Amino acid sequence: YSYELKKAVDRSIPVISPLFMRVHGEVHHKKRYAHYPRLLALGWLDRQTIDEDELFQSVVERNAINMHAPKALAEILEPRGDHETTKRRIEWALSEVIGS
């Protein structure tokens, strides 16, 4: 996550709820709405490392919990990959999150 993206996500927290609850020993926002959107996060890295992948997955997972996303997926794409492979990975990620 870039600084700007993290700032935007952090500022969206009050939209979810200013109230909190405990879930499995952690503090989370109480639900305010009947339905919440699914979350798909696509990362773009020049070179992918296991540490960066795990960190990105973890940040997206934690944000999905706080956003009450019923389904969430994080996928990292590499610019060196060919166009068709990138397209297939994006289509797969979309189908995983929103269904076909």
| Domain map (residue ranges) of the chain | 3-98
Nearest to 25 by CA among 52, 65, 53: 65
Q: Would you put residue 25 in left (φ > 0), alpha (ψ -120 to 50) or beta?
A: left
Instruction: Quote the CA–CA distance of 90 and 40 in Å, as a whole number.
Output: 10
pLDDT, residue 17, reads 66
Lowest mean pLDDT among 1-10, 56-65, 73-82: 1-10
pLDDT, residue 19, reads 79
- Are 56 and 73 in contact by the 8 Å Cβ rule? The answer is no
pTM score over 0.75: no
pLDDT (mean) for 50-65: 90
pLDDT (mean) for 15-38: 81
pLDDT, residue 100, reads 53
